[in-house]
Amino acid sequence: MAFSSDHPREVDAAVGRLAGDNEPDTAGILVWAYVAGRQLDVWLSEALADSGLSTSDYGALAGVALADDRLMTAGDLARWVVQTSGGTAKTLQRLVDRGLVRRVADPDDGRRTAFHLTREGHRALEDADAAVAACLTELGSHLDADEAEAAVRGLEVADKAIRRHREAGVR
């Protein structure tokens, strides 16, 4: 994804338009997070290209794997991959069709369905993880330790603020 050499100035202009009379730092968080998020999505998609997995597929497989022995429902996955229930249903169906996950009945509530990785799903996730890790190593070579720590901390703070805002029921 190529940007002009005036990229920071262009983002600052977008922040100014969005902020209006509001606090420009808050608008800056939104605009920079959006731009970085879109770049990250493209980067991840490129890293996963040889795996045949979309970024949503990869996120869902990782979510199921992280659940370990706990049940991972479609609703759990929707929250994990930050996707609508309809989008998650399509993602899960693709993964089931490819034999990467399987549906299992919740032993405590037969009305609920959970998902587990198949052996093929474990292999696909390991291969995708290796490709992503290699790309992360390359990406990390462009950050020093302080920059990496600041980026992680900033994203954690933004995530917490957005979650609190959503939990408060504010749009």
Tokens of 91: 């993602």
Question: pTM for this structure?
Answer: 0.76
- Can you tell me the distance from the alpha carbon of 61 to that of 6, in angstroms, rounded to the nearest whole number? 38
Q: Is residue 56 part of a domain?
A: yes
Q: Is residue 6 part of a domain?
A: no
Tokens of 37: 């998020």
Contact at 8 Å (CB) between 115 and 75? no
Cβ density class 66-91: b for 16+ within 10 Å, e for less: ebeeebbbbebbbebbebeeeebeeb
pLDDT tens digits for range 35-67: 788 888 899 999 999 999 999 999 999 999 988
Output the domain CATH number for residue 142: 1.10.10.10
Q: Is residue 38 part of a domain?
A: yes
- Can you tell me the distance from the alpha carbon of 92 to that of 104, in angstroms, rounded to the nearest whole number? 13
pLDDT band at 131 (very low <50, low <70, confident <90, very high): very high
pLDDT at 118 over 90: yes
pLDDT at 15 over 70: no
Q: Is residue 10 part of a domain?
A: no
CA of residue 22 relative to chain centroid, distance:
28
What is the domain range of residue 30?
Answer: 19-164
Q: Is residue 8 part of a domain?
A: no
- Can you tell me the distance from the alpha carbon of 50 to that of 59, in angstroms, rounded to the nearest whole number? 16
Q: Is residue 13 part of a domain?
A: no
pLDDT tens digits for range 23-36: 657 777 777 788 78
- Can you tell me the distance from the alpha carbon of 60 to that of 37, in angstroms, rounded to the nearest whole number? 18
Helices 145-167 and 24-47, interaxial angle, to 10°? Answer: 110
Q: Is residue 11 part of a domain?
A: no
How many independent structural domains does the chain possess?
Answer: 1
Q: Is residue 144 part of a domain?
A: yes
The helix (H) or strand (E) run that includes residue 22 is none
The residues, any chain, with a CB within 8 Å of residue 46's CB and separated by 6 or more, are: 135
